[in-house]
Amino acid sequence: MNSVFPYMRNLRPGCRIVVLSGAGVSQESGLATFRDNNGLWEEHDVYEVATPEAWSRNPELVQRFYNARRKQLLEVFPNDAHKYLAKLEEVFEVVVVTQNVDDLHERGGSSNVVHLHGELRKSRSTLDESLVYDVDGWEITMEERCEKGSVLRPHVVWFGEMVPMIEEAASIVQSADLLLVVGTSLSVYPAAGLLHEASSDVPVILIDPGELNTSGLRNVHHIREKATVGVKNLVLKMLEYQKDS
Ligand code: OAD
């Protein structure tokens, strides 16, 4: 952990920290990651439940699958990783760009969260994608309709769909003074490409117990810890360092 200090030398109160998070940050809250379970996501092949083709083929199955994810989300809680990331806001300007569709960053106290892959607790019209609604409880039924009369789908990005927030996320990363990457395998694009949007002199700290491909990145420090431990230790050090300097 001491070796992260050189990365903090230029950090001052008010500096902009951009957090890029993935499924690993929510793993210790009890939500499964995507690639740690023989390629299955909660016992399903992702192409069976998370593609536009899956929705065309069997919308009931897809709706049921996401209803179950939503139900599970309502039963879990933010962990120390979410909470300590929120604590960074005491000193820094923090933006969390997450690939996660859960709302655990918000419930952990983060006030500025951009969801790249959508939000599980929202539904969207299948006719007009600008019509987005909060889901009351865990279930979207096939009988519910948007105000234009069409079926509602989960407000998430499926494989093969555009990522509407990617440009906003890229400009957020470009403005970072420090990039903190937590719990993502960096294997899904365009999200993984965001790391290359940071200027080359910006420090990048990765917290993930797995092996990650960081080729092409300079100034990278990989903390091989689970999110709760790695984030907590790092954030406490960062806050302490600001007090002492
Ligand atoms: P992955 O499942 O690909 O990667 C999870 C990462 O979390 C891996 O690098 C693990 O080593 C790490 N990990 C596991 N447990 C951890 C823990 N307790 N603390 C910290 N890290 C841990 O998930 P993502 O990279 O988020 O997209 O996947 C990206 C996208 O692929 C998802 O947003 C989703 C998926 O398909 C869509 O649904 C469009």
The predicted-structure confidence for 165-177, as pLDDT tens digits, reads as follows 999 999 999 999 9
Assessment of whether the complete model's pTM goes beyond 0.85: yes
| Closest-CA residue to 187 (of 175, 197, 195) | 195
Query: What pLDDT does 40 receive?
Result: 67
CB 178 within 8 A of CB 203: yes
Check residue 134 and give its pLDDT: 98
> How far is ligand 1, taken at its centre, from the CA of residue 143, in Å?
33
- Angle (CA) 180-38-116 rounded to 5° is 35
Contact by Cβ (8 Å): 31, 72? yes
Tell me, what's the pLDDT at 84?
98
Ligand 1 within 6 A of 163 CB?
no
Radius of gyration for the alpha carbons in the chain, expressed in angstroms and rounded: 18
- Determine the length of the chain: 245
Question: Which of the following is catalytic: 82, 105, 115, 117?
Answer: 117
Q: Is the CB of 229 under 6 A from ligand 1?
A: no
> What is the Å distance from ligand 1's center to 185 Cα?
5
Q: What backbone phi and psi angles, to 5 degrees, belong to 13?
A: -55, 140
Residue 206 has a CB neighbour count (10 Å cut-off) of 23
Cα–Cα distance, 57 to 144 (Å, whole number): 19
Q: With a 6 A CB cut-off, is 117 part of the ligand 1 pocket?
A: yes
226 lines ligand 1 (CB under 6 A): yes
